[in-house]
Structure 1
Amino acid sequence: MTPRATGLRTRPPGVVDDLRAVGPVSRLLIGSQLAFNVGFFAVLPYLAAHLTDAIGLAGWLVGLVLGLRTFSQQGMFVVGGALTDRFGARPVVLAGCVLRVAGFAWLAFARDTASVIASVLLIGFAAALFSPAVETETARQAVRHEQATGTPRTRVLGLFSVAGQAGTLIGPPLGTLLLFTGFPTACLVGAGVFTLVLAAHLRWMPRRVPGAPEHGDRPRVREGVRALLGHRRFLLLCLAYSGYLLAYNQLYLALPQEVERATGTQTALGWLLAWASLLYIVAQLPLLRWVGDRLTRRAAVRWGLALLAAGFAAVPALAPLASLGGLLPSAVLVTALTLGQVLIVPTVRAWVPDLVDGARLGLFTGAMSSLSGLVVLLGSVPVGALLDLGGPAVWIVLAAVPLLGAACVPQSVSARASSAAR
């Protein structure tokens, strides 16, 4: 007799239940994402101050170093994805871990401009190997788990995203504590974290990952690039995702200016960003469960983009209420951007395996990150210029960005946002 027949209600599965169900490979990948972000955010938020105060680099040179790090990471995701298709996830993850350990150890003792730039580039390229490989294999295992159990793949991908956000939340305060003993200590602890990740993958990541393509089935990169450039629906999804990423990047560009305008200081910015991470962790899995049976993937992404647009529009709309609470527009913006992210990121990651050949999943996953990163890089310049002008018009323009992205979302072949669609 079922619980429904006896009048009993079943408890929705929690995080622990989901982790037990997904299998050892997925648990390893989810744990790796948590550790990756803890190690990363324990160091990188404090890099600019270290370069300025301890190394004595000029402001423009600090900006160049940070820009090179972003390019060597986000811009090279497509390389990591292509290598994952060619050689499998395990060797690419291991290579990324080795390079990240070397990069952080080098940065800990770098004292001249050339050494700083080289170590930062190494750190960025390590992430360009590690992240696409882990994301690709997580998506593949999520699809495999869905086919075997009927559990929506977004559940596994949601756990992966929650783990990343938890690392984002834990890393900065850990870095703050480590800075009491100096920036080199924070770097060495970061290197230690990645050494543990390396050891875990050496021990538990199988050489032949279940569900991965056989070596003979792995396509050549040139063939994959040709298929990618001709894939209209995937490119449209990339444009939609780029609209999301450019909008979400305003947490670090537009939000600080709004907080300072409203309060005269950026003191509250850290609390707002912590709220964003905490809200993501709390809301991710319940919201995905609620949406999964109600919306197609296309609708879920479009609703997420609409939430982003509403958050930007709320800033000038709530400006008259600033006397009641100067941070109200900023808090609403952060909440809307986070809830939009909750809907968009796992849904898009769940969608990509249905659009592409499984043997090319790494290339397409990496290409989406690289293309959207390029859009953010190009779009941040005019957005910065608009923010310098000030006024409510800038928020209307920002609201238009995710709406344009929503117009690009391709038709979904999926019946529901959480179902397997072929």
Structure 2
Amino acid sequence: MYTISQARRLGKYFLIIDNMFVVIGFYVVFPLISIYFVEQLGWGAFLVGFALGLRQFIQQGLGIFSGAFADKLGAKPMIVSGLFMRTLGFIIMSIANTPILLCLSCVLSALGGTLFDPPRTALVIKLVRPWELGRFYSVLMLEDSMCAIIGIVLGTWLLQYNFKLVCFTGAIVFFIAGVFNAWRLPAYKISSSHDSLLEGIKKVLNNQRFIIYVFTLTGYYILSAQVMLMLPIRIHEVSGQLSYIKWMYIIEAILSLLLIVPITWWSEKYFKLETRLMVGLITIIISLFPIGLVKNLHTLLILISMFYIGSIIAEPARETLGALLTDYKARSSYIGFSKLSLALGGTVGYSGSGWLYDIGKEQNFTQLPWIVLSIIGLITLLGLYFQFKYYSFQSSLNNKNNKKRKL
């Protein structure tokens, strides 16, 4: 029988291994969707952006319901079934030669994600002590960057031969992840409450601070969505070479390796979580604004580097701020609801920026989407500023540091 500290330690190792499979499987496929369908097949960016946005909206928008089920059923059945469903989505994507098939594959991938994502995130909050969350999130971010390189390099290499190989490889990785979870994931109970599904949802809806914070982040996710759509397209436009897309992820991995741990640990000592999130967002806004004007690949990669540095500063703080407002009696319900901002941000970020890209291309005004994205970023920054002005999250962290959580 494991002690509580041993169970926490083993659980964290499992989360890191499981995260490796999920991130590699995701990045083998999704960053190349816009390149394959827009740049190679000549589909409209709005159409492809709509499919990606549909995937994001369904996956994150239904998160509160899948989270409520996970609170009642436990993490394992939700995670395993979700991983196998995404496997099926990637298989269908391999034969997608019409918009309907592409949308169907994205819907299945989304349903898989909405099953496995909230309970996986809730397990992090369950197994990691509140005062360790920021550092653990930084470790996961570092792993995400390294695994993203593996995924994108593998995906771009396979794309030279056939997009079907790309999709089948992603499907195999998610299938392995499903088998791994079915074999090794303990039957954790995420919630310590025996309330009904609706009670878990009600707990979330009664937390006004949490709801305001979640919806304020919609603009942040609109900007983040460009990693999957506009940034790869822009690199291909400037360089003319498909192979250069992988440099986005190589740069991200190098920056993460060098900066995530020192920036996170140093900023924890001297800056509040709120300040770190806003400084990261400011950096992202500054990096995005001139991208449409850039004609030189090196300058473009410098701006993308700034974008990643902003994410490195903001992401651990954003994750920790959200975790501080969750109730351990309904962890997955909270995590599921928090995905609504990602759903809205992804939907608008993908379809909206794709639509603006098509308009800008027709009018020979490539800067259009980047101007609009910068304005959205500024509005989000103001929303966070006024929210943080009236409520300090740091006090919540201090309170939770002294509170014992049940495993």
Give the TM-score of the pair, scaled to structure 1: 0.76
- 1:199 and 2:179 matched: yes
CA contact under 8 A between 2:18 and 2:177: conserved in structure 1?
yes
CA apart distance, 1:35: 1.0
1:173 is aligned, of 150, 153, 159, to: 153
The counterpart of 1:238, out of the listed 200, 211, 214, is: 214
More helix by percentage: 2
* Structure 2 contact 58–114 (Cα < 8 Å) conserved: yes
Shift of 1:256: 6.1
Q: CA deviation at 1:258?
A: 6.6
Which deviates more from structure 2 when the two are superposed, residues 372-381 or residues 195-204? 372-381
Query: What residue identity is the alignment partner of 2:272?
Result: T
* Post-superposition offset of 1:133: 1.6
The residue identity in structure 2 corresponding to 1:361 is: R
Which range moves more in the overlay, 293-302 or 406-415? 406-415
Paired residue type of 1:397: I
The letter for the 1-side match of 2:210 is: F
Q: CA RMSD in A?
A: 3.8
| 361-370 or 89-98, which deviates more | 361-370
Letter in 2 for 1:198: G
The residue identity in structure 2 corresponding to 1:42 is: V
Bigger RCO of structures 1 and 2 (CA < 8 A, at least 6 apart)? 2
Unpaired runs of at least 5, structure 1:
1-19
- For residues 377 and 110 of structure 1, do their structure 2 counterparts lie closer, same or farther at Cα, with a shift above 3 Å needed? closer
> What CA distance in whole angstroms lies between the structure 2 residues aligned with 1:311 and 1:57?
28
The one-letter amino acid paired with 1:300 is R
Question: 1:69-80 counterparts in 2 under 5 A?
Answer: 69-80=55-66
* Mapping of residues 185-264 of structure 1, within 5 Å: 185-208=165-188, 212-214=190-192, 217-251=193-227, 255=231, 263=238
Partner of 1:309: 285
Find the structure with the greater CA-based Rg: 1
Instruction: Report the CA distance between 1:106 and its aligned residue.
Output: 4.0
Q: Measure how far apart 1:327 and its partner are.
A: 4.8
Match of 2:3 in 1: none
In the superposition, relative to structure 1, how do residues 329 and 187 fare at CA in structure 2: closer, same or farther (>3 Å)?
closer
Cα separation, partners in 2 of 1:275 and 1:163, compared to 1, 3 Å: same
Alignment match of 1:100 (pick from 66, 70, 86): 86
Letter in 2 for 1:160: L
Q: Deviations over 1:183-237 (max 9, x none)?
A: 333333322222221222222211135xx434xx143333333333332211232
Counterpart of 1:276 in structure 2 is 252
Q: Which residue type is aligned with residue 271 of structure 2?
A: L
- CA offset digits 1:348-389 (Å, max 9, x no partner): 222333212112221222222222331343366666649835
Give the residue type in structure 2 aligned to 1:355: L
Partners of 1:251 and 1:308 lie apart in 2 by 12
How does the TM-score come out when normalised to structure 2? 0.78
Say which SS state the counterpart of residue 356 (structure 1) adopts.
coil
Q: Distance in 2 between matches of 1:376 and 1:198?
A: 25
Deviations 1:306-351 (A, max 9, x none): 32234346x39xx8xx8xx945653443233222222322222223
In percent, how many aligned pairs have the same letter? 21
Question: What's the secondary structure of 2:128's corresponding residue?
Answer: helix
Q: 1:204 to 1:417 in 2, by over 3 A?
A: same
How far apart, CA to CA, are the structure 2 residues paired with 1:206 and 1:381?
Answer: 39
Match of 1:407 in 2: 385
Q: Distance in 2 between matches of 1:39 and 1:344?
A: 25
Name whichever of 377-386 and 335-344 sits farther off: 377-386
Correspondence 1:22-421 to 2 at 5 A: 23-47=9-33, 59=44, 62=48, 64-108=50-94, 116-143=102-129, 152-179=132-159, 182-208=162-188, 212-214=190-192, 217-251=193-227, 255=231, 263=238, 265=240, 270-312=246-288, 315=290, 326-327=296-297, 330-378=300-348, 385=356, 388=360, 389=365, 390=367, 397=375, 400-410=378-388, 411-414=391-394, 420-421=400-401
SS of alignment partner, residue 82 of structure 2: helix
Structure 1 residue 301: Cα displacement: 1.7
Amino acid of the structure 2 residue aligned with 1:36: V
Counterparts of 2:259 and 2:397 in 1: how far apart (Å)? 17
Shift in CA distance, 338/63, structure 1 to aligned 2, threshold 3 Å = closer
Q: Which amino acid aligns with 1:188?
A: F
Moved more, 266-275 or 76-85: 266-275
1:42 alignment partner, SS class: helix
- Structure 1 distance, partners of 2:311, 2:398, is 16
Structure 2 equivalent of residue 7 of structure 1: none
The question of whether the paired residues in 1 share the 8 Å contact of 2:55 and 2:107 is answered with yes
Unaligned runs of 5+ in 2: 1-5
Aligned counterparts of 1:85 and 1:395: Cα–Cα separation in 2:
36
